[in-house]
Amino acid sequence: MSDFDYDLFVIGAGSGGVRAARTAAAAGARVAVAEDRYLGGTCVNVGCVPKKLYSYAAHFHDAFDDSAGFGWTLAEAPRFEWTTLRDNKVSEIKRLNGIYANLLDNAGVRLIHGRARVQDAHHVEVAGERLSAEKILVAVGGWPWVPDFPGNEHVVTSNEVFDLEHFPERFLVLGGGYIAVEFASIFNGLGSDTHLIYRGELFLRGFDQEVREFTRDEMDKKGVQVHFGTNIERIDRGENGLAVTLTSGERLEVDAVLAATGRRPNLADLGLDTLGVALNSDSSLAVNARFETSVPSILALGDVSGGPELTPVALAEAMQLVQHHFGDTPPPPLDYERIATAVFCHPNIGTVGLSEDAARERYGAIRVYRTDFRPLKHTLSGSQERCLMKLIVDDASDVVVGAHMVGEEAGEVIQGIAIAVRAGLTKADFDATVGIHPTGAEEFVTLRTPSRH
């Protein structure tokens, strides 16, 4: 038993912080967690969970339209009620907050409500208490960043967009990352006249180029109005809403503007600057393989440490961290390259492994298998939505090094494919797998002829 009050003091009760706290406590450590906002962090409260719920809500728009081809007649036109979705979401988040509190309590972890401030390598101050800990874990995640332009006080971020008082009939999203693309699809599906503004030539930088282009075309079909190569110059509040002037000279009038322009580590007022903790070029905390910062007793994981901003990554890092510091043997390093991810735009994107361009750069000789098709469902629905599936294969080894999909439930499909990619299976292994018919997913095991080399 050490002379410290706690073996591990966690700052931040998000997914990674809670997992680390519970796992360390199960290993026999004395653990406390400080949280100044909400249990569950970004994912539960203003991220993955409410976003997916709103995405489900938006999909009903297409479902109602599609049903006619299957013989369904609606007695009257469907009507969307924003307050019902919003308030039901609030109830669900409260339920999840309670679950997180119970998880900590059942694990014997002390929960302290307040913003903890690191005083030195082994002490924190929170809620009027000065506490000591052998190790301090910073797991505070990120915070939305809004660019500086006249009228930027009129925008909302992903922290507020779920709880707008009134549904925006005219909606504008600024940004080109997955949050921007997702919310453009969501509000378009809910019935807003939706614009997406992005300064670059094409959104979703870092994703496979063909996936980006295919997604752009499918979103355009659904009515999202995308403006590339432009930015917001200023926003003025007028009698009929917000007047948005673009750098292209175009002027749009909308009811709400979402700035989905990135997130930055939420390090303000933590005291780490006074300790000289080293930062990466993006202002995240620099950590080693054991998740130690330049002050070895101060650890960091999740969004705040500059890795992929994904909840499952924070959870995996939490398990690794506990094994390193409270386990018997160090774990093998995480494989960050073959982490599957999804973008819940409409249609969804699912991806794992290397893009086509990245694979060409690494391996030189590759084979690309791809198909795009109109799903069976839409032969009767009348929808023109298409699905893209794509495998990237290292020609020398026959190993599948990337898999990509744009289509309905792409995340659900790619989760299974990710196991195969993570395991290093070959194209021959895919070919030897008998498909499930009739499904769209079977295309991944029936692609026989390379589309290009």
Over range 81-94, report the average pLDDT.
98
Q: Percent of the chain beyond pLDDT 70?
A: 100
Longest dimension (CA), the chain: 72
What's the predicted TM-score (pTM) here? 0.96
Q: Which pLDDT value is given to residue 134? A: 98
According to DSSP, the β-strands at 123-126 and 232-238 are: unpaired
Say whether domain 6-143+264-326 belongs to CATH 3.40.50.300.
no
The C-alpha atoms of residue 444 and residue 421 are separated, in whole angstroms, by 12
The predicted structure's pLDDT at residue 52:
97
Question: What pLDDT score was predicted for residue 303?
Answer: 95
Kindly report, residue by residue over 371-414, the tens digit of the pLDDT. Answer: 999 999 999 999 999 999 999 999 999 999 999 999 999 999 99
pLDDT for residue 381: 95
Domain 6-143+264-326 shares a fold with domain 347-445: no
Q: Which two tokens mark 108?
A: 């014997």
Q: State the average pLDDT over residues 307-334.
A: 96
Please check the confidence at residue 370 and state whether its pLDDT lies above 90.
Answer: yes
Catalytic residues, which ones? 437
- Topology adopted by domain 347-445: Enolase-like; domain 1 (3.30.390)
Mean pLDDT, the chain, whole residue set:
97
pLDDT in tens, 127-144: 999 999 999 999 999 999
pLDDT tens, residue by residue, 278-312: 999 999 999 999 999 999 999 999 999 998 999 99
In this prediction, residue 344 carries a pLDDT of 97
Instruction: Read off the pLDDT of each residue in 163-179 and give the average, rounded to a whole number.
Output: 98
Domain ranges within the chain, ordered by starting residue: 6-143+264-326, 152-261, 347-445
Residues 192-229 pLDDT 10s: 999 999 999 999 999 999 999 999 999 999 999 999 99
Q: What is the mean pLDDT of residues 29-45?
A: 96
Tens digit of each residue's pLDDT (9 = 90 or more) over 38-74: 999 999 999 999 999 999 999 999 999 999 999 999 9
- Residue 1's pLDDT band, with cuts at 50, 70 and 90, is low
Residue 2, pLDDT > 90, answer: no
Q: Hey, what CATH class is 152-261 in?
A: alpha beta
Per-residue confidence (pLDDT) for residue 219, from 0 to 100: 98
Phi-psi region of 108 (alpha: psi -120 to 50; beta: other; left: phi over 0): left
Q: Which two tokens stand for residue 228?
A: 């590339």
Mean pLDDT of 234-247: 96
Mean pLDDT of 4-8: 98
**Residues 323, 317: Cα–Cα separation, whole Å:** 10
The 3-state secondary structure of the chain, one letter per residue = CCCCCEEEEEECCEHHHHHHHHHHHHCCCCEEEEECCCCEHHHHHHCHHHHHHHHHHHHHHHHHHHHHHHCCCCCCCCCCCHHHHHHHHHHHHHHHHHHHHHHHHHCCCEEEECCCEEEECCEEEECCEEEEEEEEEECCCEEECCCCCCCHHHCECCCCHHHCCCCCCEEEEECCCHHHHHHHHHHHHHCCEEEEEECCCCCCCCCCHHHHHHHHHHHHHCCCEEEECCCEEEEEEECCEEEEEECCCCEEEECEEEECCCEEECCCCCCHHHHCCCECCCCCECCCCCCECCCCCEEECHHHHCCCCCHHHHHHHHHHHHHHHHCCCCCCCCCCCCCCEEECCCCCEEEEECCHHHHHHHHCCEEEEEEEECCCHHHHHCCCCCEEEEEEEECCCCEEEEEEEECCCHHHHHHHHHHHHHCCCEHHHHHCCCCCCCCCHHHHHCCCCCCEC
